[in-house]
Structure 1
Amino acid sequence: MKSTLTSVALAAVVVAATAVAAVPASAAPAKTAPARCHTADLKAGFALGDDAKPEMGQSEKQTQASIWFTNRSNRTCTLSGFAGVDMIGAQKTDGTWSLARSSKAPVTMTLEQGDTVDFSITLLPVAASTPQKEKFVPAKFLVTPPNETEHFTLSWPFGGQILKQDAATHPGTYLNPIGM
């Protein structure tokens, strides 16, 4: 009788061990995706290299300036969507201009510690001879990372003027999403 009980108990242990070993890999805990980047995780600035400078001295076509975000935290994080950008003008009549977004679809960018990603601002410069009421003279940019409320204050380093279209439905000056 002991031998039959021992055999049944041993068989139960073997079946249980086989069941544990047969757990599919998909049931294993999933690796969690990185959280989004917060303003405190980042530093920001204008891209200043020769090939990155917008052509503000011309008025025949649009040009682009780029703003970068670098992950300065000790964790991996993501950015997706559009930054918020408010331009503050140098002229008393300029005020603040909140830039419209392009129709480009955003993608999610993953930033490990020290990684940098940028986004571009398409600008429509005008000639210096343009009447003052038709031009916006950038002085500062308030740049808010996507889904955040705190911003960076960046001084505009490139000079020039932009055609003032702060109330236009489809302005010639607008934002592109992070990574574009």
Structure 2
Amino acid sequence: MKSKLTAVALAAVVVAGTAAAAVPASAAPAKAEPTRCHTTDLKAGFATGEDAKPEMGQTEKQTQAYVWFTNRSKRTCTLSGFAGVDMTGAQQTDGTWSLARSSKKPVKMTLQQGDTVDFSITLLPVAKSTPRNEKFVPATFLVTPPSETEHFTLQWPFGGQILKQDGATHPATYLDPVGL
């Protein structure tokens, strides 16, 4: 009788062990997806490395400036879409210019702590001799991360001026989505 109980107990352990090993991975607790980055999670700035500087001294073609976001929080977060960018001008007549968006489709970027992603601003520089009412002289950029309402105020470090097209339907100065 003792050996029969031992055999039943041993069979129960074997069955329980087998059952536990057969639990599908989908039944394991799911890891939470990261949520979007908030302005307070990020720091921002202009890329100023030699290969990142826009060519503001030439007037024959468009050039790009790059703005970066770095995740300074202790959590993973995501950015997807277009930043809001309002340029304020140095000339009294410049005012504020909200930049148009390109037709590129945004992608979702996942940022671990310390990761950086950027986006480009395409600019059309003009000569200093361009009449005042036809040029915009950038001073500061108010940069709002996608889906946020708080912005960063960035000083324009590159000089130059751009063709003023703040009322144009398809201006030569515009921005791309984050990550593209």
Write the letter of the residue equivalent to 2:154: L
Give the drift of 1:114: 1.1
The 2-side partners of 1:20 and 1:74 are apart by 35
Give the drift of 1:141: 0.1
TM-score scaled to structure 2, two decimals? 0.89
The 2-side partners of 1:176 and 1:106 are apart by 8
Q: Secondary structure at the match of 1:125?
A: coil
2:71 matched to which residue of 1? Answer: 71
Write out aligned runs for 1:23-34 (5 A): 23-34=23-34
Give the drift of 1:170: 0.6
**Greater displacement, 23-32 / 135-144:** 23-32
Number of equivalent positions: 180
TM-score scaled to structure 1, two decimals? 0.89
Q: Is the counterpart of residue 165 in structure 1 residue 154 in structure 2?
A: no
Give the drift of 1:23: 2.7
Give the drift of 1:172: 0.2
Q: Secondary structure at the match of 1:133?
A: helix
Write out aligned runs for 1:18-97 (5 A): 21-97=21-97
- Residue deviations 1:135-166 (CA, integer Å, cap 9, x gap): 11100000000110000000001111110111
Give the drift of 1:73: 0.8
The 1-side partners of 2:9 and 2:158 are apart by 81
Q: Secondary structure at the match of 1:26?
A: helix
RMSD between aligned alpha carbons?
2.2
Write the letter of the residue equivalent to 2:100: A
The 2-side partners of 1:86 and 1:20 are apart by 58
The 2-side partners of 1:55 and 1:95 are apart by 23
Q: Is the counterpart of residue 175 in structure 1 residue 175 in structure 2?
A: yes
The 2-side partners of 1:12 and 1:55 are apart by 76
Give the unaligned 5+ runs of structure 1. 1-6
1:3 matched to which residue of 2? Answer: none
2:122 matched to which residue of 1? Answer: 122
The 2-side partners of 1:157 and 1:14 are apart by 71
The 1-side partners of 2:156 and 2:22 are apart by 62
Q: Secondary structure at the match of 2:35?
A: coil
1:4 matched to which residue of 2? Answer: none
The 1-side partners of 2:55 and 2:142 are apart by 21
Give the unaligned 5+ runs of structure 2. 1-6
The 2-side partners of 1:16 and 1:95 are apart by 74
